Structure 1
Amino acid sequence: MKPATAAAQALGWIDEATRAVVPPLHPSSTFVRDADNGFRSGRSYTRADNPTYDQAEAVLATLENGAGAALFASGMAAATAVFLALRPGDHVVISRVMYWALRSWLLGFATDWGLRVEVVDTTDLDALEAAVRPGETTLVWIETPGNPTLAITDIAATAGIAHAAGARLAVDSTVATPVFTRPLDLGADVVMHSATKSLNGHSDVLAGALVTRAADAHWEAIKRVRVQSGGVLGTFEAWLLLRGMRTLYPRVRAAAANAMAVAQHFQGHPLVEDVLYPGLADFPGHAVAARQMQGGFGSLMSIRVKGGEQGAIAAAANVKIWKRATSLGGVESLVEHRASVEGAQSPAPPDLLRMSVGIEDAGDLIDDFEQALAASRR
């Protein structure tokens, strides 16, 4: 099956007990032992395993062409598990532009715990190569496109640098989704998703996911972290996530087409300083994005509004169809002033509005932001 078919059919699995097309939900937290005290079913306790996870994880592994997948209670739980599977004293290199909460955790808790964290502009391969220490760096973590400036990092080139130094490469591919990028095929060792976003797509599930290229010792350590820290996803959330993934391809493609239309419309607009979107030919990193993002450039974009921070916040205050809210990848369009959210360490300029484009009519989205820009100047 092509990936779009695999997602829509959820691999075509049929419940053997009932012959149902829609997968069942197994809310049980515990499972019965055999008479000899064993667990021939392979199930003992939901913190370690549950049948509801199986299909969603199998779909994810298939979409990313990985050897295995694991669901987590949130994107943060998934991301931090990758680092907690390392050892205190390990050296890690991370992208300068990345999800702000993970950056804050790495520069706070993880550093206090003992990881040596080095932040670098991973779009600059020379700077990245200088930061990676052969025999010392254990993990390189990149996010591409990077949230919120959409910075593009070359996955294949980064994988070559990391592997030459004996390090693993992990990629946060939340913005790209497996619809447009498959990092494992480009040399990454682990791919992470905040499944809350496009994978689920309906803003009603908090979830995270990891997919591995190989079922190696690091992967086993990650799974132990999930069990021992209790960061496992609830069964109902796993069931909802699987339901959301079945419409992943049409949703994400429609939203990306809308994002391109919005980006092209506001490029060169008299009230707009700049449009940040990898699909625009003059966007820094467009050539790399075009090479590693097949079929589209995602639904996330940012607009820098003329008038600085005050102008950006005023524009956001006047939207009617766009919603002023955190998150991305849902069917509804959201806008947010990221510098206010992320604080002093944010790479977001003060005039930047992050825009998660949904699947509404593109003309409505354009008209609404046009009137918001005009209203902000009155």
Structure 2
Amino acid sequence: MESDRDSLLETLAVTEGEEPFRTGSEAGDVVSPIHLSSTFALPGLDTEMSLEDIDPDAGEFVYSRLSNPTRHALEKRLASLEGGEHAMAFSSGTAAIFTTILSCVEPGDHIVAFDDLYAGTRRMLEAVFEGRLGLEVTFVDATDTDAVAAAVTDDTEFVWMETPTNPTIALCDIEAIAGIAESYDATFGVDNTFASSYFQRPLELGADVVAHSTTKYLNGHSDSVGGAVITNDDALAEELRFQQQVGVGDMLAPFDSYLVLRGLKTLPLRMAQHERNAMAVAAFLEDREEVTAVHYPGLESHPQHDLASEQMDGYGGILSFELEDELADAKRFLEALEEFTLAVSVGGVESLIELPAGMTHEPLSPEEREVLGISDTLIRVSVGVEGTEDLLGDLERGFGAMARPSMVVEDD
């Protein structure tokens, strides 16, 4: 997807939201200070002013749940990177998604969602919105746009997609689904976590709202948990802000806001290296006889490679692959690695690797995992920014461990 914002994004990632003398300090801080204060002094009592009249852009703050200078600087930057007008930062990606859905639906409404969602999001939709709040949720294979069109009805108020997905790295056509949602006057949201704002900007393709787990690429250093929502819809932004400040009362803390602000400064540099390494790892794995499939949109063998090339500016740093052997072989492979850390989460500068069936997607039943293509030997990799040869050598170490038979001690 061609964009004239690419060079500008590199500048926005460094400077947007942090303006000396306008970040709550008279010292001219180049980096936004961490404002830990829970409340702020007022210059006087204006009986005609309501809380809605407080303008953070003018340096006006009352209470940190409502707005905080450090968080406000982050929210301005997040909005700019997605090409949005409004952004709200939350204490987790899950909180951001929950608040987004809550802001768009009422009991009795219908939701259409990608069947291959992050397991936590799927459980939220099933257990909370369907199980407790009385909504109807239809999960569809959104790689097939016609399936999405068939699932949407006159009762559909919200369409929720994730692209690329976790962990099979499947894509959906954002622009086409945006058109379907618009024709039914349904709000269309996209979880953009795996691509990041650097490689994909769903608002430019017609989405109404975009969510991120800032824990992942936006922060990029595995030392902060957070989430964000970005939109151009003024009415939706007003509802989201109400839920953030009052209804749910969930917001990102000042210290975490500072960490994400810091991390975003290197987002373009990090994402470029993530992609270079991921492409090298994907090509290496595709040539291994122990591997039956590699799921990475940068490979021409990926069934949606052309779509990825159209709607993304790059292919990201996350891939998954299937081992031909059994769980015990996958266990030997994973436990032999030294550069790749066995851990959940993605998007940090360090390379992480995990077994979805036994870790992130263990809450799903074996039958549900089978439908989604999550086998017992599917391995997900978040490729970091280390030296490429070190990473490839580590994978060689893992395959070597698979080739060695297990030591079996027999009783006399």
TM range, smaller chain: over 0.9
2:384 aligns with one of 358, 370, 374 = 358
**What SS does the corresponding residue of 1:113 show, helix, strand or coil?**
coil
Per-residue CA distance 1:336-377 (angstroms, 9 max, x = gap)? 000112121333221101000000011111110111112022
2:12 aligns with one of 6, 25, 41 = 6
Q: Structure 1: any 5+ residue segments left out of the alignment?
A: none
Q: Percent identity?
A: 39
| Matches of 2:221 and 2:102, distance apart in 1 | 30
Q: Structure 2: any 5+ residue segments left out of the alignment?
A: 1-6, 405-412
Shift of 1:55: 1.4
Q: What is the one-letter code of the residue matched to 2:256?
A: E
Match of 1:137? 156
For residues 195-274 of structure 1, the aligned pairs below 5 Å read 195-216=214-235, 218-227=236-245, 228-274=247-293
| Matches of 1:367 and 1:306, distance apart in 2 | 20
| Matches of 2:136 and 2:327, distance apart in 1 | 34
Per-residue CA distance 1:8-29 (angstroms, 9 max, x = gap)? 2345622341122111111110
| Matches of 1:320 and 1:219, distance apart in 2 | 45
Whether 1:328 aligns to 2:346 is yes
Question: What count of residue pairs does the alignment treat as equivalent?
Answer: 375
Match of 2:323? 305
For residues 129-208 of structure 1, the aligned pairs below 5 Å read 129-134=149-154, 136-208=155-227
**Which consecutive aligned stretches of 4+ in structure 1 deviate over 6 angstroms post-superposition?**
none
Match of 2:410? none
Whether 1:121 aligns to 2:147 is no
Shift of 1:31: 1.5
Quote the RMSD (CA, aligned, Å).
Answer: 1.4
Moved more, 1-10 or 328-337: 1-10
Q: What is the one-letter code of the residue matched to 1:299?
A: G
Alpha carbons 2:16, 2:80 under 8 Å: kept: no
| Matches of 1:119 and 1:76, distance apart in 2 | 18
| Matches of 2:18 and 2:101, distance apart in 1 | 34
Match of 1:23? 32
Alpha carbons 1:10, 1:242 under 8 Å: kept: no
Shift of 1:89: 1.1
| Matches of 1:182 and 1:300, distance apart in 2 | 17
Whether 1:293 aligns to 2:312 is yes
| Matches of 1:203 and 1:120, distance apart in 2 | 32
Q: What is the one-letter code of the residue matched to 2:348?
A: G
Shift of 1:99: 1.1
For residues 30-109 of structure 1, the aligned pairs below 5 Å read 30-36=39-45, 42-85=60-103, 86-109=105-128
Between Structure 1 and Structure 2, whose CA radius of gyration is higher? 2
Q: What is the one-letter code of the residue matched to 1:202?
A: H
Shift of 1:254: 0.5
| Matches of 1:371 and 1:103, distance apart in 2 | 35
Give the TM-score normalised by structure 2.
0.88
Q: What is the one-letter code of the residue matched to 1:165?
A: Y
| Matches of 1:63 and 1:191, distance apart in 2 | 11
Match of 1:279? 298
Q: What is the one-letter code of the residue matched to 2:395?
A: F
Whether 1:371 aligns to 2:371 is no
Alpha carbons 2:71, 2:253 under 8 Å: kept: no
Q: What is the one-letter code of the residue matched to 1:130?
A: A
Shift of 1:173: 0.5
Shift of 1:230: 2.2
Per-residue CA distance 1:276-333 (angstroms, 9 max, x = gap)? 1000001011111110111x20000001112033322221111111000011000000
Query: CA, structure 1 residues 194+252, in 2 after alignment: closer, same or farther (shift >3 Å)?
Result: same
| Matches of 2:286 and 2:232, distance apart in 1 | 38
Alpha carbons 1:275, 1:301 under 8 Å: kept: yes
| Matches of 2:115 and 2:326, distance apart in 1 | 23
Shift of 1:34: 4.2
Alpha carbons 2:17, 2:74 under 8 Å: kept: no
